[in-house]
Amino acid sequence: MIDWLRRLVVGRGGNAEVPPETAPDPRFAEALEHHQHGRLNAAAQVYEDVLAERPDHVDALQGLGAVRLQQGDPAGATKCLRHAVALQPDRALVHANLGAVFLAAGLSAEAEKALRDALALEPCCLPALSTLARLLEARGELASAHSALETAVASESGNASVRLQLGLLYDRDGQFDEAERSLRAALEREPVMPEAHFHLGNLLNRTDRVAEAEACFRKAIELAPHFAAAINNLGNLLQVAGRLDEAEQCYHDAASLPAAPIQSLTNRADVLCKLGRVDEALACCQEALRRNPAFAAAHSTLGALHRAQGRLDDAKASFETAIRLDPGFAPSRTNLASLYTALGDHPRAEALYREALTIRPDSPTARYNLGVLLLFRGAYPEGFAYYESRFACFAGEMAGAAGLHDVLDPTTRWRGGDLYGKTVLVWTEQGLGDALMSMRFIPRLRERGASGVIVQCQPPLARVMQSLPGVDRVVCTAAPPASSEFDVHVAIMSLPHLIGLRVDDLPGPYPYLHPAKDGIAKWRARLGEGRQLCVGLAWAGSSALRDDSRRSIALAELAPILTAPGVRVISLQKDARSVEAQNFASQIDDWMDECGDLMDTAALVSALDLVISVDTAVAHLAGALGKPVWLLNRFGSEWRWGLRLTATPWYPSMTVVRQESEGDWQGVVVTLQDMLREAIANRYVAT
């Protein structure tokens, strides 16, 4: 007797099983061997040879039916299985396999009858229950599908595949905890099932447990090295985490496999574009369109490449083509909306983002981009709610956020509400300026009843954060404090959302940063008495920011400011770009080597009359101090500075000086010269 039970996947309709024969049959075993290894023509020939000798060989009929279905011949498959049922009408498994064939052929009513015939003969027939669940799920009868699978689980405690199927059904139904339990139960019974590792990875990734998800994808690939979907999805995870070189390699590997999803090509194109390898990205899109000219995602990605090249009309045409080809492909609308945003057509962009979210409500890119658009126009409650999708979009580009967001337990994330008696861990994200802007909300945690507040931040922020009322401790380690030291945690830029911030609530208690008086006195003594206007200058931000080239200025472009009559310029520039001051040593004082952190810099800024800064931490620092600050704002702006106003509710002491067109710093410098002349005439005095 053949001592096994082989399950054969027969397309989307379900599973057909070939049971053991009651007597050994070498030729039948040969057919199964061919079938198991995908040699379908050879398997069909041997099955036919067996049936020529024994026309009543039911299992050969079932095997041949499975082959016919895999070869795209549902009529031939149905003929084989009907014959098998006629020979053994009292055998539940044969009816179940006939139901699977009917379902794969799109004959839903016939499939359900065959499956229920099987269950009438054997109520716990596992293949019948499994295939019936697929049928019911396809019809949207999820409760009935759950019932069938639960019956299968109860009757077949050792079966892993049915638990995998149940887990996927729970996942579709949004019952993520139950889905995870079922998938892990499948892996307990069959640890080497790559599909279960793959689907568990997808679930964990969607629920923000990225490190665990990565491990699952890698295990699936280890078990099945040619598992193209797992390699592709690992690439998706790595791309979101900012690990672009690794992501590109995954997409390259996936696209080279025979069964590769065409999305691997467009995904690779997207990453190559981000890496600046535009020609290679275009080649990927062209290959995808060669394989399928109607593939909407390829047209959409091609549009993104055109936009990166500045070919905006071509980009718009590609996005519109993608929408026409597949109206249900949400990223095309998101990309077109982003283009309209860049062109200044915010109403049309907002409408497209909302259409994209109607199609795919969980799209992190559409949610994030809509959030930013709403923040631009001051719709803060809704805007900050959508802004919470930033981690799903850009975790790898946020300072400190990628590690902490993945390491901290998502179940202890503060989501608003009661904090009485709880210790809160607040952790910084993105840049130093974002932390300086949002730290004003940390004292409100005490107002909500928090018994303790710990702040985890970058070292330059440590003393600034410690100066806030209500902060008990500041840590600057890479790893978070032990979970026993706090009850809930929150990212600092989530505070506006969680406290329900509205524009009218700004700026709050102001100013909210207060350096020690002796530090300020030290710098005032250094500056000495005089009639010149002491102006601090910061001309560049961190090069790690994607758009840094748009917001930063070469110091040479600001030369007219350095030589303005009645102005003394003091450098506030740190890091690599500070060396530019050496070329203007006679025109700019540079004492930043004496500023070990942002609190030292805050003391220096407090001693000045005015700060002029691009959109970087220095501008936020001056704003937090209430110091007059002129922000040099790039064309297109950034949401907190709005679109046209010269003022911002975040910092009453700030004046926003905007580029009139992309890259036009010359016009900004001319405006600054006029403003400086007026300031000197009005005897601008430090406060």
Residue-wise pLDDT for 643-659, tens only, equals 888 999 999 999 999 99
The count of domains in the chain is 4
In a domain, 253, yes or no: no
Sheet with 533-538: strands ordered across: 588-589, 567-571, 533-538, 610-614, 629-633, 654-658
Tell me which residue range forms the domain holding 357. Answer: 263-396
Higher pLDDT, 408 or 652: 652
Picking from 214-223, 231-240, 658-667, which range would have the lowest pLDDT averaged per residue?
658-667
State residue 630 phi and psi, 5-degree precision: -105, 115
Picking from 172-176, 277-281, 447-451, 617-621, which range would have the lowest pLDDT averaged per residue?
172-176
State residue 6 phi and psi, 5-degree precision: -100, 130
In a domain, 254, yes or no: no
In this structure, the answer to whether residues 66 and 192 fall within a common structural domain is yes
In this structure, the answer to whether residues 478 and 536 fall within a common structural domain is no
In this structure, the answer to whether residues 312 and 431 fall within a common structural domain is no
Domain boundary among 334, 361, 396: 396
Tokens 């999803």 correspond to what residue? 261
List the CATH number of the domain containing 606: 3.40.50.2000
Q: What is the pLDDT of residues 284-322, one digit of tens each?
A: 999 999 999 999 999 999 999 999 888 999 999 999 999
List the CATH number of the domain containing 431: 3.40.50
- pLDDT (0 to 100) of residue 398: 52
Q: Classify 482 as helix, strand or coil.
A: coil
Picking from 133-137, 244-248, 498-502, which range would have the lowest pLDDT averaged per residue?
133-137
Q: What is the pLDDT of residues 35-54, one digit of tens each?
A: 888 889 999 999 998 889 89
In a domain, 187, yes or no: yes
DSSP assigned state of 611: E
In this structure, the answer to whether residues 134 and 273 fall within a common structural domain is no
Asked if pLDDT for residue 10 goes beyond 50, the answer is no
Tokens 């015939």 correspond to what residue? 117
In this structure, the answer to whether residues 373 and 426 fall within a common structural domain is no
User: How far is 481 from 477, CA to CA, in rounded Å?
Assistant: 8
In this structure, the answer to whether residues 385 and 421 fall within a common structural domain is no
Asked if pLDDT for residue 624 goes beyond 70, the answer is yes
User: How far is 399 from 527, CA to CA, in rounded Å?
Assistant: 34
Question: Rounded mean pLDDT of 86-91?
Answer: 90
Q: Classify 648 as helix, strand or coil.
A: coil
In this structure, the answer to whether residues 301 and 317 fall within a common structural domain is yes
In this structure, the answer to whether residues 21 and 67 fall within a common structural domain is yes
In this structure, the answer to whether residues 405 and 336 fall within a common structural domain is no
In a domain, 251, yes or no: no
Other beta carbons within 10 Å of 280: 16
In this structure, the answer to whether residues 550 and 665 fall within a common structural domain is yes
Q: What is the pLDDT of residues 138-180, one digit of tens each?
A: 888 888 887 888 888 887 655 888 888 888 888 888 889 989 9
In this structure, the answer to whether residues 547 and 472 fall within a common structural domain is no
